[in-house]
């Protein structure tokens, strides 16, 4: 005999949830005189799980993040207003960012990037990302890596089981610090 179906009142009915940018407060971040942005985490508010989406606004003459790339996540940008430049890896052409421009940024070193608002108005864009974890983010200018486990970059920081930034040359031998003989 098959078990009874779950009680309709105890099983939530899955349904899409909307996030309206106008209903969200801006979160502001910056560092020094070079980095600044405002962000609204749309996918998080709408209950997104495997795909992230945030609305960013970058002031003139600022960058949101240092040059970086992800080893485990693909990102994409869609420019809504303003203008800027997507700085790419050495040897690749930089891209002009203007309204209605979409840029795919697959994982890997070939897609190292940094956004710069070199226009006169705020640069507003949607940033989309797969939300895979673990992820390693590489910062070529400072030769460091970021490690994200338990929640991806841009995800719930409180859910992370491991998160840190390390110099790329901080490698140790596999057995370093491990007890290899019985006491």
pLDDT digits (tens, 9 = 90+) for 59-70: 999 999 999 999
Q: Give the predicted TM-score (pTM) of the model.
A: 0.86
pLDDT digits (tens, 9 = 90+) for 75-132: 999 999 999 999 998 889 999 999 999 999 999 999 999 999 999 999 999 999 999 9
Distances in Å between the Cα of 150 and the Cα atoms of 53, 77, 158 are 19, 25, 9
**Cβ 150 vs Cβ 133: under 8 Å:** yes
DSSP conformation letters of 103-129: EEE-SSGGG-EEEE--SSS-EEEEEEE
pLDDT digits (tens, 9 = 90+) for 4-24: 555 555 556 688 899 999 999
Sign for the CA dihedral angle at 152, 156, 162, 166 comes to positive
**Cβ 88 vs Cβ 113: under 8 Å:** yes
């Amino acid at each position: 005999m098959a078990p009874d179906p779950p009680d309709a009142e105890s099983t939530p009915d899955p349904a899409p949830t909307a996030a309206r940018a106008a209903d969200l407060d801006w979160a502001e971040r910056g560092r020094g005189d070079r980095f600044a942005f405002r962000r609204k985490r749309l996918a998080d508010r709408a209950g997104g799980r495997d795909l992230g989406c945030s609305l960013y606004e970058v002031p003139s003459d600022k960058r949101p993040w240092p040059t970086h790339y992800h080893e485990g996540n693909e990102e994409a940008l869609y420019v809504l207003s303003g203008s800027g430049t997507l700085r790419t890896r050495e040897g690749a052409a930089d891209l002009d960012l203007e309204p209605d421009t979409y840029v795919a940024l697959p994982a890997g070193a070939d897609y190292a990037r940094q956004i710069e608002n070199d226009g006169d108005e705020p640069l507003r864009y949607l940033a989309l990302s797969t939300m895979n974890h673990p992820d390693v983010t590489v910062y070529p200018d400072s030769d460091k890596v970021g490690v994200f486990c338990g929640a991806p970059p841009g995800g719930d920081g409180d859910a992370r089981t491991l998160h840190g930034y390390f110099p790329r040359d901080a490698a140790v031998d596999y057995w370093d610090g491990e007890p290899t003989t019985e006491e």
